[in-house]
Amino acid sequence: MPANILNLPSIVIDRVDEAGHDYHIYAHALNSPSSCPACMSGEFVGFGRNEQLVKDLPMHGKRVGIYFDTRRFRCKECGKTFLEQHANFHSERAMTTRLVNWIGKQCIKRTFASIAEETGVVEGTIRNIFRDYINELERTIRFETPKWMGIDEIHLIKPRSVITNIQNNTVVELLPNRNKETIIKYLSTLQGKDDIAYVAMDMWAPYRDAVLQVLPQAKIVIDKFHVVKMANEAVERIRKSFKAGLSPKVRRTLMHDRYTLLKREADLTDKEALLLSGWANNFPTLALAYRLKEDFFKIYDARTRNDALALFANWEISVTHEVRGAFSDLIRAWRNWQPYILNYFDHPVNQPITNAYTESLNNLIRVMNRLGRGYSFEALRAKILFPEGAFKKELQRPKFERRIERFGREMPDFAMEFVIDTDIQKDDEINYGVDISILTRMIESGEV
């Protein structure tokens, strides 16, 4: 009798045929069923046989198919027929349970086509297994609702909303779009949504309207990153406005020096400072735009909202007519969103309410999308939200419960049950979501 290379003790292997890319393994069950699954009667007789092809995990770089000699029985009590069932075979698919579980996990890391090639399972079935696997993860994994929530977006074919936990630097959800209805539906279903204190976002009105409707207690903070980048965009407009009147050589130089114009003055190298000085001498308007950009960034050094208001008022006065058109979007945005922009300054400087770190996550998602073109949104979402080993978790002890027994009195039965129950309490595990730093490392190492 051939060795049990399947490592399934309840299966007896009759024969193993090895082909160029496949193992064809013929087997039967070691034990017969004990009762009828319909009426649980032990009185049944054989009623024929059927060969069932069941796919299993690949071995030695070859695909595996088990040709299982399945017996059919008829119950003497209820008259129903049934096939013998095997505990290691999946109830809904012609595969072993371990293969189904393995495919689900591999789908997070690999393409469906590569898994289909390795296992011999058609790609459509791989997709269905992946869908079921994700549905099970959705059912069993619950991320802690963030007290400081971030709502940002990433463009994957079209804009998608990214929900983050600002305090723990984790991502907790990736939504299919950024529509108001989608955000409302997501926020409405959150457990503990009334405990959300802050929501950082960009200046997208549907985000604001959804939060005001579902989370009236939460304070909306316009993310600093989305405000100050408008100052950089204004400098870019001024730079591009000079291109038409320049020679090709000077135009190319100005194009390459755009990164110098976008850098903060304190971060400039000596060479970059010299370049900037040269452009300032030749283009005073560009120098003015750069100075206005730097002065606007300094508004975010303010300690209070009143200081920020005063700094902005002085800054706006210094915006002359030559560059006002370039900075008009920034000025208008500040006026339209002023209460929510100023909420940023109500928080300590060492613990800012900002979603800027999710830009690194957005870059990672873009890289992942380029590496695996053709992925559906659902597949990309799963790769971000459910990579093994990337969750940020914390064990938390349950609350102390005072026992009922006092002064040596005899405890009633229900009190004894209470004590026994509290004696076996386990620590609660809190899952804050996918740690962005761990996810970064996993993507860079090719684990996702």
Identify the residue with better confidence: 312 or 363: 312
Q: 194: which DSSP letter?
A: G
Per DSSP, the three-state class of 31 is: coil
Please provide the average confidence, as pLDDT, over all residues in the chain. Answer: 82
Q: Side by side, which strands form the sheet with 158-165?
A: 219-222, 198-201, 148-156, 158-165, 170-175, 428-435, 391-396
Q: Is residue 195 assigned to a domain?
A: no
Q: Is residue 413 assigned to a domain?
A: no
Question: In whole angstroms, what is the distance from residue 323 CA to residue 174 CA?
Answer: 39
**Are residues 132 and 235 part of one domain?**
no
Mean pLDDT of 145-169: 87
Please give the model's pTM, rounded to 2 decimal places: 0.76
pLDDT of residue 167: 87
Q: What is the CA radius of gyration of the chain?
A: 32
- Domain range holding 266? 224-346
Domain count, the chain: 2
Q: Cβ contacts of residue 385 below 8 Å, gap of 6+?
A: 171, 172, 173, 174, 433, 434
Give the pLDDT band (50/70/90) at residue 443.
Answer: confident
Q: Is residue 152 assigned to a domain?
A: no
Run of H or E including 380: helix 377-385
The domain boundary residue, chosen from 138, 171, 190: 138
Q: Is residue 309 assigned to a domain?
A: yes
Q: Cβ contacts of residue 401 below 8 Å, gap of 6+?
A: 418, 422
pLDDT of residue 308: 94
Q: Is residue 269 assigned to a domain?
A: yes
Candidates 362, 340, 304, 353; CA nearest to 147 is 353
Q: Is residue 445 assigned to a domain?
A: no
Q: Is residue 395 assigned to a domain?
A: no
The domain boundary residue, chosen from 346, 369, 402: 346
Q: Is residue 444 assigned to a domain?
A: no
What are 189-234's pLDDT values in tens digits?
A: 999 899 999 999 999 999 999 999 999 999 999 998 889 999 999 9
What are 58-116's pLDDT values in tens digits?
A: 998 899 999 988 888 888 778 787 777 777 888 888 899 999 999 998 988 788 889 99
pLDDT value at 147 more than 90: yes
Rounded to 5 degrees, φ, ψ at 397 are: -70, 145
**Are residues 253 and 134 part of one domain?**
no
Torsion of CA 309, 314, 316, 319, to 10 degrees: -160
Identify the residue with better confidence: 279 or 192: 192
Query: 42: which 2 tokens?
Result: 């032990």
The domain boundary residue, chosen from 138, 155, 174: 138
Q: Cβ contacts of residue 225 below 8 Å, gap of 6+?
A: 354, 355, 356, 359
What are 174-187's pLDDT values in tens digits?
A: 999 999 999 999 99
